[in-house]
Amino acid sequence: MATIAGIWTSPARKSGRSERHERRQAIEGQGLEGCAHANPPRREVLFVSKEHLDSVGVEPGAIRENITVEGTDVEQWPVGQRVRAGTAEFEITMICDPCHRMDELRDGLRAELEGKRGMLARVVETGEVALGDEITLL
């Protein structure tokens, strides 16, 4: 069973930091409430597998994901897949390729994250996500 292990937002586009939340509103056409990184319509929410973060020795939230997922490989979700998390519904829009900012965290991290950076999604149904919520593929 896949669950939400972390919920993160970035208060400013270039702050470089993420704030952890117990719960957050996912807003249709916008992303997670209060996240400056949302770039609708295709880049609203970033899902990342906790297991991938662990494999490269990175703490959840460090690579600016919005939802850290435990128990599944989000990279296996195909583009177009609908996902229910909490009471919100998402549609996977694209793979998130690691960018140069990953090497700002640690030299070589960009290469280490190849195939592990996560999947971007758009919010198709407003709802709340909370730590421990089950994630279901629709």
Q: How far is CA 81 from CA 65, 77, 118, 119, in A?
A: 18, 6, 14, 11
108-120: per-residue pLDDT in tens?
999 999 999 999 9
Q: Is the pLDDT of residue 19 over 80?
A: yes
Nearest-5° angle of CA 98, CA 119, CA 62? 55
47-68: per-residue pLDDT in tens?
999 999 999 999 999 999 999 9
